[in-house]
Structure 1
Amino acid sequence: MKPELRKISEISPDHSVVCILGKNEIPERINLSKTEKEYALKQLFRGEVMVFINSYSKCTYLVKIRDGVTGSSLREEMRKSASNLKKLIRSNNHTELVITSENAYSESVADFAEGLILSCYSFRKYKTKSEEEDDRNNYPSVLLFADSISKSELKWLDDITDAVYLARDLINEPVNHMNSTALASEITKAGGKAGFSVEVLNRNKIEALKMGGLLAVNKGSVDPPVFCILEWHPGKPVNKKPIILVGKGIVYDTGGLNIKTGDYMALMKGDMAGAAAVTGVFYTIAKNRIPVHLVGLIPITDN
């Protein structure tokens, strides 16, 4: 279950909060008692990069940015910090969690939210308990308190995390549920939802086009090969020639003539991760109407 994501304009005194700090100063909007604030500052001045305060009715998580971390390194650090906090956040059963920052690091709020949402992913489709029953209150709504985040940026964050969840779901499906034709069907569904086109070539078309490599790999399979052509062609793309993305769609790889050992077999349902990644990219780009002409090529079979 993906956490709900939305922006808020005010932090309630009862909200549990993650606050991203650059200095050893706690913003006034973070509602702490005098004792709690003194404790937090003491920990920060000692060099702690994460400080947790349990006020019983709510929790406060202070995340200190290390000196000198900027750009893409800072974005990745925020994602990792969120992932590191996930177990602690889940154990406190929040229904809502506010993410904010001191003014200088307001752009880091979205990066932290991305890391938290992605770290909440779990493939539970075939578990005995329902997802709702098993995960009740473990995945809080993520509330962003940051003026710098626009509606379009919020939509991008929501769509890109949707795309990652989609790709992970495709990768985690076992081959008895996600064979070649099923994967092509899921890619087509994603195209219909996001707005990119998908053409699926069947065996006859593949043979007519003399795609010998795909046909050779498919010779030992009971399922037919398929070849998916994805395209996102907006009205006025910035590129004259399309960008081509190729995704490997081997839904299960036994190794063929060179059979794999048991240790590797369990992971081979993920040999189509390239196809899943390309699908996720198209989903995000099309959902946000990015003016880039893209073409995706995905050969699909098992081996």
Structure 2
Amino acid sequence: MNDIMKITTYTPDYNGSTAIVYAETKELSQHLNQTQLDRVRGLGEKFEEKWLEVQAGTDTAWVYKIGKSVDADARAEKMRQAGNTLVLKANAAYLDRIAILGAHVPHVAEGAILGNYQFLRYFSDSHKRKNSMAQLFVSKEDEQTLAPIATATMGALFARELVNTPVIDLTATDLANQAKEASKRHGFSIEVLEKKQIESLKMGGLLAVNYGSPEPPVFIIMEHKPKNATNEKPLVLVGKGVVYDTGGLSLKPSNYMDDMKSDMGGAAAVIGAISAAAEANLPVHIIGLVPATDNRPGGNAVTPGDVITISDGTSVEVMNTDAEGRLILSDALVYAK
């Protein structure tokens, strides 16, 4: 996975470009010179809810004026979007660092971290394509607030990496191995059920979807159970792990298959979420369940009209094999009970 941008404490001797979020121009006086302040006074109103670039000698400064009042969630999202825009500007200028100051710094930084993500695994010239931005500087107070957000972005970026990886390198077994590696990095427990174990649990939905595949299915069970958990019953996250979906015998048109490597996005989200929760040592008991397979039309593939039985004994008539998600998730939901 790509390196996540480093978060460093801002100090007065910082040397580099800055980005400042403000509501009143007077808030900028400690960061900008008089010429820059005059430029902000002259243009600031035109750049409400936008970044205005003002030069600071050899370094660049961007300022962002907060507009009308909105609720907390909407403001947080606006600042994430501003952070994404900021990191695009910084990379375009080939900067490797920027200090984010003023208001709403954690959410601006979150947007910058997420916006700096790249998937370069298959490029022979990835070193040339790699973004220049590598480091964010924030105040000590904001650094403390940003710590859990940075951990959450780690989980999100890990999920993106899984979603972007094609099935040739991410079979169901590969997905399980990725989850195992994550458990070692972040400290959660994991058990991976192989095909024989899945058969013993009579997970007919998962098995049926897998009939047409040369690759075996897996059922991934992850658990974060800290001693100080505040919940008596675990929070159970269930994610669809169809690592590639052709539609099975109800074959998708070819142009609808282009992005079907991402049909395991639910699984990626669950693996990323439990990785972040364990890394942050959240006081919450969490279980993550991922039924994983691909959905192909080969071999003894399930056919429209087949009747299968899922693990709680419920019989299901399959009328369209491209409705595979509900079949594998039904077994996972039964297991969750």
Q: Same fold (TM over 0.5)?
A: yes
- Aligned residue in 1 for 2:123: 127
Amino acid at match of 2:150: D
User: TM-score, normalised to structure 1's length?
Assistant: 0.91
Distance 2:286 2:260 in 1: 28
- 2:288 maps to 1:292: no
Larger Rg, first or second structure (1 or 2): 2
- Going from structure 1 to structure 2, the CA distance change for 1:11 and 1:267 (only over 3 Å counts) comes to farther
Report deviation, 1:47: 5.2
Matches within 5 A, 1:111-122: 111-122=107-118
Distance 1:24 1:54 in 2: 16
> Deviation per CA, 1:232-264, whole angstroms, max 9, x where unpaired?
111121111111110000000001121111222
* Aligned partner of residue 117 in structure 2, secondary structure: coil
Report deviation, 1:146: 5.1
Matches within 5 A, 1:173-192: 173-192=165-184
Amino acid at match of 1:135: K
Distance 1:9 1:141 in 2: 11
**% of aligned pairs identical?**
33
> Deviation per CA, 1:82-106, whole angstroms, max 9, x where unpaired?
11233222111112100000xxx3x
Report deviation, 1:149: 4.0
- 2:221 maps to 1:229: yes
- Aligned residue in 2 for 1:142: 136
* Aligned partner of residue 175 in structure 2, secondary structure: helix
* Aligned partner of residue 110 in structure 1, secondary structure: helix
Report deviation, 1:148: 4.6
On the 8 A contact 2:29/2:37 being kept in 1, the answer is: no
Matches within 5 A, 1:59-98: 59-98=60-99
On the 8 A contact 1:19/1:99 being kept in 2, the answer is: yes
Distance 1:147 1:219 in 2: 55
On the 8 A contact 1:188/1:198 being kept in 2, the answer is: yes
Matches within 5 A, 1:272-291: 272-291=264-283
- Going from structure 1 to structure 2, the CA distance change for 1:296 and 1:147 (only over 3 Å counts) comes to closer
Higher relative contact order (CA 8 A, sep 6+): 1
* Aligned partner of residue 199 in structure 1, secondary structure: strand
Structure 2 residue runs of 5 or longer lacking an equivalent are 296-337
Report deviation, 1:23: 2.1
Distance 1:216 1:119 in 2: 39
Matches within 5 A, 1:5-84: 5-12=6-13, 14-32=15-33, 34-46=34-46, 48-49=48-49, 50-55=51-56, 57-84=58-85
Distance 1:259 1:82 in 2: 41
More displaced stretch, 287-296 vs 158-167: 158-167
On the 8 A contact 2:159/2:268 being kept in 1, the answer is: yes
CA RMSD of aligned residues (A): 1.7
Report deviation, 1:72: 1.2
* Aligned partner of residue 25 in structure 2, secondary structure: coil
User: TM-score, normalised to structure 2's length?
Assistant: 0.83
Distance 2:291 2:56 in 1: 54
- Going from structure 1 to structure 2, the CA distance change for 1:52 and 1:296 (only over 3 Å counts) comes to same
On the 8 A contact 2:163/2:265 being kept in 1, the answer is: yes
On the 8 A contact 1:93/1:140 being kept in 2, the answer is: no
> Deviation per CA, 1:95-150, whole angstroms, max 9, x where unpaired?
2100000xxx3xx101100101100111000001133x4326x2231111253542
> Deviation per CA, 1:180-208, whole angstroms, max 9, x where unpaired?
10000001110111111110000000000
Distance 1:27 1:35 in 2: 12
- Aligned residue in 1 for 2:262: 270
Amino acid at match of 1:206: I
How many residues are aligned here?
Answer: 293
- 2:217 maps to 1:216: no
- Going from structure 1 to structure 2, the CA distance change for 1:11 and 1:95 (only over 3 Å counts) comes to farther
Distance 1:279 1:71 in 2: 28
Amino acid at match of 1:280: G
On the 8 A contact 1:181/1:226 being kept in 2, the answer is: yes
Distance 2:242 2:281 in 1: 29
* Aligned partner of residue 68 in structure 1, secondary structure: coil
* Aligned partner of residue 302 in structure 1, secondary structure: strand
Distance 1:13 1:53 in 2: 18
On the 8 A contact 1:2/1:139 being kept in 2, the answer is: no
* Aligned partner of residue 250 in structure 2, secondary structure: coil
On the 8 A contact 2:7/2:143 being kept in 1, the answer is: no
Distance 2:35 2:190 in 1: 60
